[in-house]
Amino acid sequence: MSNIEKRCKERAWQINLDQTEMSAVADHSIKTGHFFCIRVTSILEGTSRYMDGLVKEAIEIRLKNSFNGGSGFILSRASIL
């Protein structure tokens, strides 16, 4: 099982158990009724370096006005202009 498959199954389990404190995806799904489809989930861009992954994730979240339940890696607005 790949890491993405494992994470998707974890999120689906958290949604089924109403564990909104465990995941921003579960919280969003439960509050809005939006369905989380595991089969169409994909990795946007990969990296082998941890810090690069944090920065890429933060950029995607900021650019797509997405959500993240944890504090995550915070970018200043100037850093992505």
pLDDT tens, residue by residue, 43-63: 778 888 988 888 887 887 777
Domain limits for position 71: 44-81
Contact 57, 70 (CB under 8 A): no
Please tell me the pTM assigned to this model.
0.57
Mean pLDDT calculated for residue range 16-20: 87
Same domain? 37 vs 51: no
Same domain? 37 vs 56: no
Same domain? 14 vs 30: yes
Same domain? 24 vs 58: no
Cα 76 from Cα 8, distance rounded (Å): 29
Same domain? 49 vs 31: no
Same domain? 39 vs 1: yes
Same domain? 30 vs 49: no
Same domain? 32 vs 19: yes
What pLDDT, on a 0 to 100 scale, did the predictor assign at position 58? Answer: 80
How many of the other CB atoms lie within 10 Å of CB of 22?
16
The phi, psi pair for 55, rounded to 5°, reads: -65, -45
The domain total for the chain is: 2
